[in-house]
């Protein structure tokens, strides 16, 4: 019998949903590093991120569905056999990651990180003036699922949004302006808050170099919920240390994990979390991933095009145009 291996954490109702989506297939549920040898050998489909090294043993593999939005690790030469379809979980992480970024935004603007530090020292001290979301300009670089969710949230709170994306299109109702990536240098000086929601690709590597960080408004905040490689970490440390940037909220860093002796840890205006804004920390995210897998299983069995096919040349989900709100589809 044809085999589908799933390494996505599932409950009984999730198993039933996946099984119903692929009648006639054997579904094998396992931990990523505990897949039985025969299951791996027979797997025509794998659902979830497995160690790249085991893919050499998946000799019948035709499709790998990631449970992550980022696909960069699986696009490296020699990882996937030729002809294997690769899909990602774009669309599952918008609420979780955007809410995490919004929390970091407020923490930095209201200096809550400083007051938390003061609490640890039992220090009752006023940390001075703060900033707010209303009327602030937010430059969202990467207006896909996560970026558009974040943009909608700050717009609802009175923020003024400028969106940056790869393809031109209609400006969505939650943004004042939409520009393509070649206009990034032009709009950077306008922003009070710059939010990065980018995948790890050749074109995004060190996109925020020392030169680009210097183009940002003095006293602006930088937030990164995409990939740490999009930012020159040393240049960011210099900008934070000098006070040119008021603060940075980072759920991703370069390198990862961030070494214990890295200077970024000790900067009081840096808020760091260990790449945990997505994953399965919210049950809602896990449910979205399972529903995406079930829909793609139905499509695969029926011979229909899969959702979220990754373009190996760009590392992005294949571009199919923009929806009526200006989000990349």
pLDDT of 18 over the 90 cut? yes
Confidence of residue 279 (pLDDT cuts 50, 70, 90): confident
Cα 97 from Cα 146, distance rounded (Å): 6
Residue 204's Cβ-side half-sphere holds a number of Cα atoms within 13 Å equal to: 24
**Averaged over 155-184, what is the pLDDT?**
97
> Domain check: are 250 and 125 in the same one?
yes
Confidence of residue 121 (pLDDT cuts 50, 70, 90): very high
Domain that holds residue 245: 94-272
Task: Check if 202 is active-site.
Answer: no
Q: Specify the DSSP class assigned to residue 322.
A: B
> Domain check: are 115 and 261 in the same one?
yes
Residue pLDDT, tens place only, 319-329: 554 443 345 54
- pLDDT over 70 for what percent of the chain? 97
Residue pLDDT, tens place only, 288-312: 999 999 999 999 999 999 999 999 8
Cα 269 from Cα 259, distance rounded (Å): 18
**Which CATH number do you get for residue 83?**
3.40.50.720
Domain-located, residue 329: no
pTM above 0.85, yes or no: yes
The pLDDT value given to residue 1: 82
CA dihedral over 152, 197, 254, 233, signed as positive or negative: negative
The pLDDT value given to residue 117: 97
Confidence of residue 10 (pLDDT cuts 50, 70, 90): very high
- Better-predicted residue by pLDDT, 329 or 84: 84
Domain-located, residue 22: yes
* Residue in 182, 146, 142 with CA at minimum distance from that of residue 163: 142
> Domain check: are 161 and 286 in the same one?
no
Domain-located, residue 54: yes
The pLDDT value given to residue 326: 45
Task: Find the catalytic residue in 13, 176, 186, 256.
Answer: 256
Task: Check if 176 is active-site.
Answer: no
- Please, which residues bridge with residue 19 across strands? none
> Domain check: are 79 and 129 in the same one?
no
> Domain check: are 174 and 228 in the same one?
yes
Number of domains in the chain: 2
**Averaged over 147-173, what is the pLDDT?**
97
Cα 229 from Cα 205, distance rounded (Å): 5
The pLDDT value given to residue 322: 46
Domain-located, residue 315: no
Q: What share of the chain is helix, strand, coil (3-state, %, to 5)?
A: 35, 20, 45
Task: Find the catalytic residue in 113, 165, 227, 317.
Answer: 227
Confidence of residue 155 (pLDDT cuts 50, 70, 90): very high
**Averaged over 38-64, what is the pLDDT?**
96
Task: Check if 256 is active-site.
Answer: yes
Domain-located, residue 328: no
> Domain check: are 249 and 122 in the same one?
yes
> Domain check: are 141 and 222 in the same one?
yes
The pLDDT value given to residue 154: 98
The pLDDT value given to residue 329: 43
Query: Could you tell me the two tokens for 71?
Result: 């696909």
> Domain check: are 226 and 291 in the same one?
no
> Domain check: are 54 and 187 in the same one?
no
CA dihedral over 73, 76, 80, 84, signed as positive or negative: positive
Domain-located, residue 181: yes
CA separation (Å) from 78 to 45, 150, 201, 202? 18, 35, 17, 17
Task: Find the catalytic residue in 41, 177, 212, 275.
Answer: 275
The pLDDT value given to residue 53: 93
CB atoms within 10 A of CB 182: 9
The pLDDT value given to residue 320: 56
Confidence of residue 317 (pLDDT cuts 50, 70, 90): confident
The pLDDT value given to residue 323: 43
> Domain check: are 83 and 126 in the same one?
no
Domain-located, residue 189: yes
> Domain check: are 171 and 65 in the same one?
no
- pLDDT over 90 for what percent of the chain? 92
**Averaged over 68-92, what is the pLDDT?**
94
pLDDT of 318 over the 60 cut? yes
> Domain check: are 55 and 151 in the same one?
no
Q: What angle do CA 117, 119, 120 make, to 5 degrees?
A: 65
Q: What angle do CA 81, 82, 85 make, to 5 degrees?
A: 85
The pLDDT value given to residue 328: 53
The pLDDT value given to residue 315: 79
**Averaged over 174-191, what is the pLDDT?**
98
Cα 78 from Cα 206, distance rounded (Å): 24
Q: Specify the DSSP class assigned to residue 326.
A: S
Domain-located, residue 121: yes
């Amino acid at each position: 019998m044809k085999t589908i291996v799933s390494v996505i954490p599932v409950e009984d109702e999730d198993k039933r949903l996946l099984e119903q989506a692929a009648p006639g297939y054997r579904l094998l549920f396992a931990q990523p590093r505990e897949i039985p040898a025969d299951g791996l050998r027979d797997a025509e489909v794998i659902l979830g991120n497995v160690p790249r090294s085991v893919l050499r043993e998946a000799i019948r593999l035709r499709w790998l569905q990631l449970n992550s939005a980022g696909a960069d690790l699986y696009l490296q030469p020699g990882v996937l056999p030729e002809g294997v379809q690769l899909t990602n979980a774009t669309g599952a992480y918008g609420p979780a990651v955007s809410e995490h970024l919004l929390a970091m935004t407020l923490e930095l603007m209201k200096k809550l990180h400083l007051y938390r530090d003061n609490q640890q020292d039992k220090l009752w001290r006023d940390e001075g003036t703060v900033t707010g979301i209303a009327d602030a300009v937010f430059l969202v670089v990467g207006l896909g699922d996560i970026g558009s969710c974040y943009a909608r949230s700050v717009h609802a709170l009175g923020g003024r949004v400028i969106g940056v994306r790869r393809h031109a299109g209609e400006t969505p109702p939650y943004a004042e302006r939409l520009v393509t990536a070649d206009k990034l240098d032009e709009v950077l000086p306008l922003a009070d808050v710059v939010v990065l929601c980018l995948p790890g690709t050749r074109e995004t590597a060190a996109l925020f170099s020392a030169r680009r960080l210097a183009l940002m408004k003095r006293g602006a905040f930088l937030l990164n919920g995409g990939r740490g490689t999009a930012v020159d970490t040393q240049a960011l440390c210099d900008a934070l240390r000098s006070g040119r940037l008021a603060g940075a909220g980072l759920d991703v860093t370069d390198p990862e994990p961030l070494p214990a002796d890295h200077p970024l840890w000790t900067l009081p205006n840096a808020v760091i979390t260990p790449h945990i804004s997505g994953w399965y920390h919210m049950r809602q995210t896990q449910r979205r991933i399972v529903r995406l897998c079930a829909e793609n299983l139905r499509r695969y069995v029926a011979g229909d095009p899969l959702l979220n096919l990754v373009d190996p040349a760009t590392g992005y989900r294949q571009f199919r145009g923009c929806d009526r709100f200006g989000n990349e589809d």
